[in-house]
Structure 1
Amino acid sequence: MLKAIFLDKRFLILLFVINLFGTIYGYDWYGWQLEKTPDIFLIFVPDSPTASLFFTIFLLLFIFKKHFPLIEALAIITLFKYGVWAVVMNVLTLWFNGSLPAEAYMLIASHAAMAIQGLLYAPFYKIRVVHIVIAAIWTLHNDVIDYVFGMMPVYSSLTDYMNEIGYFTFWLSILSIFIAYKLTISRKNKPSL
């Protein structure tokens, strides 16, 4: 039943449109930070919209029964990572501040959906180990850019905890890579009963 829904062209088009507009909104949300970002780091700053962009490209290709396995690997790893990361950062902000603006609740819901949708489409990805390795390098390199070069998204009430957030983010990256491997490569290599 669910598989039929996930493969239904109308559903895929709806999901594509939602992700496309979410991606555009995400890049716009980062606008003020991108204006202050050195050119060399621009591609690494808007983490969530870039993750969403990878999935949007996957959906567009999937609608036409095409695959780009590297994009699929980047999508599953980064959607889960940045989806979970944004939920955790917004919940921590709520804990420290005692309240959140309405936009933050929308971000919690949309980022949770990001994390889930990337995993739900795992059975349809054509990922191989090389794609996981390249996507893992991208993801861990992005952590270095964010937390060594200071290009991470800014949550003002959490700035005193950047070292701890960087540590958490590194292990979240490792978890995301492991989950992507287990749901794609490892699952495909299991003998059928």
Structure 2
Amino acid sequence: MNRGFLWLLFWCNLLGTVYGYIWYDDQLLFTLQNYPAALLVFVPDSPTASLFFTLSLLFLLYPPSGRSLKNAGYVIQGLAVVTSIKYGVWAVSMIVAGWSFGGDMIWQDFMLIASHLAMAVEALLYVRFFGFRMVSLIVAGGWTLLNDVMDYTFGIYPYLPYELHNYVSEVRTFTFTLTILSFIAGWIALKKAKRL
């Protein structure tokens, strides 16, 4: 909770978020050209998760005093935990699965593995400092499930390694399962922090 370290984490996450949205540039453009614009919010999964975590760090650095802003911060913190765990693990799993089916190992994959593992780990480490409770966690779980539904109903899920294109139904099942497990991880963290 050292402020200097929180600021370091903030800038690392902010830069990672910006990079993540740039990474999704082609898919965002494709979605905008081929789907209703309202679906754009469901496309960039990992950078939106890191955005939630970045904003959560701001709430730690500058705790709000007003009730409405505090409640909004709690929802963002819940979203940060559920989505960072989920998409951190999901991205690593998809990269490794692509390799296991014969995909090439490229340097960007190792960078993505490191950054996405960091997303999941930092969410698990910082959940105890966040102030959200069960209602915020339920909202976060509901939003993440809605995102899954939109991804696999409209085909706007993150681009998969070529080797996994024949396994979209298995990826979908894994994705929904991971959302539920990420929600449970958040629930366990709340229980340990005695905030249930």
Q: What is the TM-score normalised by the length of structure 1? A: 0.91
How many aligned positions are there?
Answer: 184
Say whether residues 1:161 and 2:167 are aligned partners.
yes
Alignment of 1:35-184 (within 5 A): 35-37=29-31, 38=35, 39-66=37-64, 68-155=73-160, 156-184=162-190
Find out whether 1:20 has 2:14 as its counterpart: yes
Structure 2: gaps of 5 or more residues: 65-69
User: Structure 2 matches for 1:3-18, cutoff 5 A?
Assistant: 7-18=1-12
Tell me the distance in 2 between the aligned counterparts of 1:183 and 1:61: 19
Change beyond 3 A, Cα 1:98–1:149: closer
5+ long unaligned stretches in structure 1 = 1-6
1:98: how far off?
Answer: 4.6
How far, CA to CA, are the matches of 1:18 and 1:94 in structure 2?
28
Query: What's the offset of the Cα at 1:100?
Result: 1.5
Letter in 2 for 1:11: F
Query: What's the RMSD between the two structures over aligned residues?
Result: 1.5
Q: If the length of structure 2 is used for normalisation, what is the TM-score?
A: 0.90
Identity of aligned pairs, percent? 46
| TM-aligned CA deviation for residue 99 of structure 1 | 2.5
Counterpart CA distance in 1 for 2:74 and 2:47 is 19
Q: What is the CA distance between 1:129 and its match in structure 2?
A: 1.4
The 3 A distance-change label for structure 1 pair 157 and 98 is: closer
Q: Which amino acid aligns with 1:24?
A: V
Deviation at 1:95, TM superposition (A): 1.2
* Conservation of the 8 A alpha-carbon contact between 2:137 and 2:186: yes
Deviations 1:99-121 (A, max 9, x none): 32100110001000000001100
1:122-160 deviations in Å (ceiling 9; x for gaps): 111111111111111101001101112111011222111
Q: Is the 8 A contact 1:93 1:100 kept in 2?
A: no
1:187 to 2:192 alignment: yes
Superposition deviation, residue 65 in structure 1: 3.1
User: Letter of the aligned partner of 2:180 in structure 1?
Assistant: I
The answer for the alignment partner of 2:67 in structure 1 is: none
